[in-house]
Amino acid sequence: MEALIPVINKLQDVFNTVGADIIQLPQIAVVGTQSSGKSSVLESLVGKDLLPRGTGIVTRRPLILQLVHVDPEDRRKTCEENGICFFLFASNNLRNPECCVIVSQGISDEPIQLKIFSPHVVNLTLVDLPGITKVPVGDQPKDIELQIRELILKYISNPNCIILAVTAANTDMATSEALKVAREVDPDGRRTLAVVTKLDLMDAGTDAMDVLMGRVIPVKLGLIGVVNRSQLDINNKKNVADSIRDEHAFLQKKYPSLAARNGTKYLARTLNRLLMHHIRDCLPELKTRINVLAAQYQSLLSSYGEPVEDMSSTLLQLITKFATEYCNTIEGTAKYIETTELCGGARICYIFHETFGRTLESVDSLGGLTTIDVLTAIRNATGPRPALFVPEVSFELLVKRQVKRLEEPSLRCVELVHEEMQRIIQHCSNYSTQELLRFPKLHDAIVEVVTSLLRKRLPVTNEMVHNLVAIELAYINTKHPDFADACGLMNNNIEPFASTATRVPVARKLSAREQRDCEVIERLIKSYFLIVRKNIQDSVPKAVMHFLVNHVKDSLQSELVGQLYKPALLEDLLTESEDMAQRRNEAADMLKALQKASQVIAEIRETHLW
């Protein structure tokens, strides 16, 4: 079977590339009655006598012989890696420098596994099965026939198994148990090859002409007669080569017309052909698989980007792309749409209208102000003379104090938007501008520039928001149209607030006048406060947009270009991450290997005429 070695070797390269054994060579299993010569047939195929023959060792256990092709150099290494126990054959013949590993010495029905590592074999599995038996002998169980039958069927029913049905020439071919059992699992005879052994032991005056011509039983893939070594030959240590030479002489003499289509060599060639056919049948699928993989690696490779050729244009492109993505994320037109949470512009909107809006609404117009505070303020405003009217000064003082409470949530709003703007940087470099990950230094530099731009805008925006509140405090506009209604209260008698009494735990009982004055002031504060709160709720988001968001959006590109687009920085900024360079190289290598593999397959298809 050495003819297969170059083909399989070439394919092995392909296997190594695509990382799987796509072509599984069929197993070859021998079936037949006891002592029909099964082990001998396998042995002459392998070309070495290493199978137990005649003795009882394989009577009840299958023997799995795994041939493993290795390069001459790493034979020993392979052995040591695999071996529970290994031995090297030193001399010629059986003692070729192969090594053999007994993988398992199973108990009862478990197979015995032998691995042979050699440069002279192809990766192939041969199975020596126990002989079909009818009558239990010795300590064999009563149902031995059934047990063995099931064991044999287990192996040969595998559709990827070539069955060598062995029948001795000196028994009746018409009732061959081997062909019978083979037919059960392979009725069409697609994978059964009949082997007729012991041609040399036929009775004088008889020959196997009819059998070998297929006249007794036709076998689709053929009937091949062989002469193996007799027990005497084995005892005399006759080697395989001599045996094959003698077999050839015997066939020439006894069956001159059939000699070319019989014998161990022809059997080996036939098996070769079957295996080659199998390989041929696998090639199209292998080719498809390789093409698919090649396409995958091609797109992987292009996703890693080309190696940088023109540094300055690459830098400019990346900066522009980042800036565009940043703005798009704010505008809501980004390519990558986040679905798990709000981000970018949508989140800023949420901050303005939900977070900030609701916080402002929860600021109570009279929060932190007790009736006593109000009363004290009124009394302080009137000075030494008792007043006829509620003093306006006390209203102004108190309402300013309340308005001031709007500043803190307003500044908090700026902070939240600032945080979100910071978060967008990460978002952009993670999802939108994947290419940036190739250049960690550029990535860091961009993050730094944007961060510092944001940081620079923060105090400006805070200042503006602070001023918005300060502006409100600067002038209490009692002529505000929405405030006019409330002013009427100053002059007219009013219904007492039901709520006032409950709002205050007052230490002493207020006089009717005091109570009325407090109520008037509280109502005015409330009315005016609502006007201011509405203003702030409206103007703070506008200020944040103008001074922070839009400003950053508009100046981002030029800021990045100004700080990073410098000839002196190019080299450093566009240093690729080692990781990425390595991944690109790996993908490129893989692609090359796949293209080579594809070529190898084409070669095999062309050069090995099937």
| Interaction of residue 133 with Mg ion, rule CB under 5 A | no
Q: Which is nearer to Mg ion, 38 or 229 (by Cβ)?
A: 38
| Interaction of residue 228 with ligand GDP, rule CB under 6 A | yes
Rg of the chain over CA atoms, in angstroms?
48
Q: Which is nearer to ligand GDP, 17 or 228 (by Cβ)?
A: 228
Q: What's the rounded Cα separation, in Å, for the pair 335 and 322?
A: 12
Q: Which is nearer to ligand GDP, 39 or 432 (by Cβ)?
A: 39
27, 36, 78, 192: residue in contact with ligand GDP (rule CB under 6 A): 36
- The token pair that represents 607 in the structure block: 């050069």
The option from Mg ion, ligand GDP, none interacting with 111 (CB < 5 to 8 A, set by class) reads none
Q: What's the rounded Cα separation, in Å, for the pair 454 and 335?
A: 23
Q: Which is nearer to ligand GDP, 128 or 396 (by Cβ)?
A: 128
Q: What's the rounded Cα separation, in Å, for the pair 544 and 536?
A: 12
Minimum CB distance to ligand GDP, residue 74 (Å): 33
The option from ligand GDP, Mg ion, none interacting with 115 (CB < 5 to 8 A, set by class) reads none
- In the region spanning residues 9 to 38, those forming contacts with Mg ion, defined by CB under 5 A, are 38
Q: Which amino acid is at 156?
A: I
Q: What's the rounded Cα separation, in Å, for the pair 476 and 528?
A: 9
Q: What's the rounded Cα separation, in Å, for the pair 415 and 573?
A: 31
| Interaction of residue 231 with ligand GDP, rule CB under 6 A | yes
Do residues 166 and 31 touch, judged by C-beta distance below 8 A?
A: yes
**Residue 241 CB contacts under 8 Å (≥ 6 apart), including other chains:** 93
Do residues 532 and 406 touch, judged by C-beta distance below 8 A?
A: yes
9, 12, 35, 382: residue in contact with ligand GDP (rule CB under 6 A): 35
Q: Which is nearer to ligand GDP, 162 or 319 (by Cβ)?
A: 162
Residues 102-131: x/- map of binding to ligand GDP (CB under 6 A)? -----------------------------x
| Interaction of residue 264 with ligand GDP, rule CB under 6 A | no
Identify the DSSP state of 63: E
| Interaction of residue 462 with ligand GDP, rule CB under 6 A | no
With tokens 């093409």, the residue in question is 291
137 C-beta neighbours (distance < 10 Å), count: 9
- Helix runs in 428-546, H state only: 440-474, 484-491, 498-503, 512-544
The option from Mg ion, ligand GDP, none interacting with 69 (CB < 5 to 8 A, set by class) reads none
37, 111, 344, 345: residue in contact with ligand GDP (rule CB under 6 A): 37
26, 32, 47, 344: residue in contact with ligand GDP (rule CB under 6 A): 32
DSSP 3-state of 172: coil
507 C-beta neighbours (distance < 10 Å), count: 8
Identify the DSSP state of 397: H
The option from ligand GDP, Mg ion, none interacting with 158 (CB < 5 to 8 A, set by class) reads none
Q: Which is nearer to ligand GDP, 17 or 36 (by Cβ)?
A: 36
- In the region spanning residues 37 to 76, those forming contacts with Mg ion, defined by CB under 5 A, are 38-39, 58
Q: Kindly list the residues in this chain that would bind ligand GDP in the complex (CB under 6 A).
A: 32, 34-40, 53-54, 131, 197-198, 200-201, 227-231, 234
